[in-house]
Amino acid sequence: MRKAISAALGIGLAIGGTLYVMFDSNLFLIAAVVALYTGWGYFAVRYRRVLIREFPQFDRSRDRLGYAIGLFGLSIGPIAFSQQFTAGDLSIQLFVGYIGVVGFLHTASAAAVEGESESQ
């Protein structure tokens, strides 16, 4: 689990850092994107086959940290994007955030299925 969270944090920080450097995004938007991609990266690293599965379930206690980080990004993302949008500078940042939402939800739900098959 430590390897997965370390790698996931690296993924999240790399994407967030890229948005900050290339687009001078606000820190609230960066926090949302970092949290989304960290949550996504956690499940992608921990469960390697998750990208080909579906079925959303968020009740696995063993993976609470991955869920918490990703869901935090999901919860603050819309507010962060609305603040950036009112500033008039949204361009590719919205697309990057949207991909993060889809990726996190897909990998988290697939990880739940993967974990169920491991426990059987």
Give the pLDDT confidence of 32-47 residue by residue, as tens digits: 889 988 988 888 888 8
Taking alpha carbons only, the member of 93, 120, 100, 96 closest to residue 43 is 100
pTM score, whole prediction: 0.57
Distance of CA 63 to the CA centre of its chain: 14
User: Kindly report the CA angle at 33 between 30 and 35, in degrees rounded to 5?
Assistant: 105
CB 42 within 8 A of CB 5: yes
CB 10 within 8 A of CB 74: no
Q: Compute and round to an integer the Cα radius of gyration of the chain.
A: 14
84-117 pLDDT tens trace? 676 666 667 777 888 888 888 888 877 776 766 6
